[in-house]
Amino acid sequence: MQPVKIIGVASGWGSPDRGCGDGPDALREAGLVTRLITRKIDISWGETFFPAAGKTSPPAVIPELCKRLAQKTAEVIHGGAFPLVIGGDHSCAVGTWSGAWLALRSKGPLGLIWIDAHMDSHTPETSPSGALHGMPLAVLMGYGEPSLTNLIEPCPKLLPQHLCLVGVRSYEEGEAKLLTRLGVRVFFAEEVERRGLAAVMEEAVNIARKGTAGFGLSIDLDAINPRESPGVGTPAADGLHASSLIQALRPLHGTPDLITVELAEYNPYRDRGGLTAHQAEGILAALFAPR
């Protein structure tokens, strides 16, 4: 297993509630890395990106921040380490997966499994709130704000056939129509409950792998039931059980074509008793700790 290098993204500018911007530092100060090292994971905190000084609006902050994140993600991959991006609100995904695409583009397309309560596939025309953390998947497929769709290069970073969403239970009509039109596979919460998360994840991995040079995993902590994971930016009722998610992620440990993992939307101000921080640690241990 490659050494894991954490990249923090201390930005909540994509959300109406900016509390997730303090998520990476809160996890770091709570001893996340130390505890993962005790599980025999070769992991270190590389650096944390903060919004550039003087920028005071999401359209100014997020493209610049995502560009730096994309370049760093690609640099870590080319350097032989494994990037673990810890957000911040989920708008950071534009940077994470643009960087993974950049690192892979000479070899082939990028695949992605998106575990989330939400679709995050709005465009400015369909979004009720205009919040950029609800738009990253549309952006990565080439739809939305040009300063983001053109990040690194003016082209889609993800093709619809290489993307799937797992655990969706809260969404709006506009984003659902876009994903349906593009043919993106969505495993709604009802299907996950009926089939079991392990079976769904097996199919999701096959989708993300088919015809790609490597794939990534993006986990929004609000995918988990808020009773078990209250410390998130946009909680939604019901959801995955943390124990089921952790169990379903274990088979991905050591997968050679898994090239990047992203964990987003931890809001320390909404956490209770460190419940969500504990779930985050369990997720990362499932992916990276040796058996």
Would you call 120 a catalytic residue per the annotation? yes
Residue 118 is a catalytic residue: yes
Of the candidates 22, 89, 145, 222, the residue annotated as catalytic is: 222
- Residues forming a β-bridge with 188: 168
122 annotated active-site = no
- DSSP letter assigned to residue 110: E
Q: One of 22, 145, 175, 265 is an active-site residue; which one?
A: 265
Is 222 a catalytic site residue? yes
Annotated catalytic residue 172: no
Task: With beta carbons less than 8 A apart as the criterion, state whether 249 and 2 touch.
Answer: no
Verify whether residue 265 is a known catalytic residue. Answer: yes
Q: Is-catalytic flag, 162?
A: no
d(C-alpha 13, C-alpha 94), whole Å: 13
CB neighbourhood size of 40 (10 A)? 11
Q: Is 64 helix (H, G, I), strand (E, B) or coil?
A: helix
Contact 58, 89 (CB under 8 A): no
Catalytic residue among 89, 133, 162, 175: 133
Taking the CB of residue 181, how many other CB atoms lie within 10 A of it?
9
Instruction: Find the catalytic residue in 22, 120, 262, 271.
Output: 120
Which tokens belong to 127?
């979004």
Q: What are phi and psi of 213, to 5 degrees?
A: -90, -10
Q: Please identify which of the residues 145, 220, 271, 281 carries the catalytic annotation.
A: 220
**Residue 44 near residue 79, CB atoms below 8 Å:** no
Which is catalytic among the residues 22, 118, 271, 281? Answer: 118
Strand partners, 215: 111, 258
Quote the tokens at residue 70: 């994309």
Does 22 qualify as catalytic in the annotation? no
Which residues are designated catalytic? 90, 116, 118, 120, 133, 220, 222, 265
